[in-house]
Structure 1
């Protein structure tokens, strides 16, 4: 009798374990299907990417030519140097997932963009984003949010405008040492949330330029990166962004 009860309990626990395992597998599969970019940054190897020799945290496709490998090395080194130079040091260490074919980028969840920061911990670059400007733009997002404490926030226009300034993107700013680097000035409020930004930027190609203009002018008044680091400290101390930076 005792042995029968023991076997019954064992069978019950085996069923429970099998059910939990099935649920876990289904949940993981659901994430992979719904959010492939999140899954890819968690397990690059699961999506055909391998760690790039000599660069920890950098993942790319196999069978690259010598020219392609050289291009990746230059982009990684230049973008990291850009971030470290502007911020004084690079405190973040995002994984970099680099695709040199569109099929690869689609497989890891990429879309029409040149590059994208994922969960403020990784950066994905498409074949169209394989240059230091795009890479440092996305890495600036990760660096900023790494430095911001939990609860400290900046509006999306500031985040995007700062990334343009840090990456020194010539599409949206005049080159240094222009007194005013703006190519287009904001004429009204800029998007505050990510959802608002994506909606506005998709309709108005000048949105990045307007945000970059506002941020570049603010940085010029506040002493450049010194002013930014001071802003981050005050935000981390609990000061609201609206009391520190005038919105357009």
Structure 2
């Protein structure tokens, strides 16, 4: 009886371990790129700065350029928020072979986790603009207790304002609103799909960029920080957003 019980315990133990291993294997197969990004420091990628990784065969000149992009992007974050609190991991995947290990997009892709953000920059995103864009997302998530407290259009509009690529935002806003006579329905821009590459994504970025640039132009960094603090205290975004703008407009009179 004792031998049978011992054998049964061993079988159960082995089955449990096997099941756990199979679950881990399945999760890896589904989230292989995310796993590679999180474990990048254990890969053959070369670390050239704090939390900055590149392919090992990239020459010194290009390494210096990557570091420059990271530094100038970080300065933009400091200018916007007053200081930079986040320290996301940045992975530059230059070759298609390396990119396949880390991301689906050849521009940029970011994985957000409670402990940190992991930014993968592809060959088409190899510039200060894209890096600054992703740094803005990472910084906002670092400061917010719950990133879902802000609508998608605000998150993307803030990042678009910082990265500087969407220079036609005033013209786009004027066309889409008939010179300001017809309001933008921002509920239609409160989804990630509105900003994924499609026929209207550039327009959506520019509309979001216009609104956030307009608002930030009134309230500045103090207003942005006040918004974040209020959201972290559980207040409603729409009410706080409008209230801070109203106060900022009064102070400029």
Within 5 Å, give how 1:1-248 maps onto structure 2. Answer: 5=2, 7-44=3-40, 48-53=43-48, 55-112=49-106, 114-119=107-112, 121-150=117-146, 153-167=149-163, 169=164, 171-173=165-167, 182-185=170-173, 187=177, 188-190=184-186, 191-198=189-196, 202-204=198-200, 205-222=202-219, 224-245=220-241
Stretches of structure 2 that go unaligned for 5 or more consecutive residues are 178-183, 243-253
Aligned length: 228
For the aligned residues, what is the CA RMSD?
2.3
> Could you say what secondary structure the match of 2:109 adopts?
strand
d(CA) in 2 for partners of 1:163 and 1:151?
A: 14
Q: What displacement does 1:151 show?
A: 7.0
Q: Which runs of 4+ in 1 moved over 3 A?
A: 7-14, 195-198
Q: What displacement does 1:206 show?
A: 1.4
Distance 1:151 1:105, change over 3 A: closer
Distance 1:135 1:36, change over 3 A: same
**Residues 103, 109 of structure 2: 8 Å contact kept:** no
Give the corresponding residue for 2:245. Answer: none
d(CA) in 1 for partners of 2:136 and 2:151?
A: 15
Give the corresponding residue for 1:177. Answer: none
Distance 1:182 1:226, change over 3 A: farther
> Could you say what secondary structure the match of 2:98 adopts?
helix
As a proportion of its length, which structure holds more helix?
Answer: 2
d(CA) in 2 for partners of 1:85 and 1:100?
A: 29
Stretches of structure 1 that go unaligned for 5 or more consecutive residues are 175-180
> Could you say what secondary structure the match of 1:52 adopts?
strand
Residue-by-residue CA offset, 1:210-248 (whole Å, 9 max, x unaligned): 1101100011121x22211111111111111111235xx
**Residues 49, 59 of structure 1: 8 Å contact kept:** no
TM-score, normalization: structure 1?
Answer: 0.82
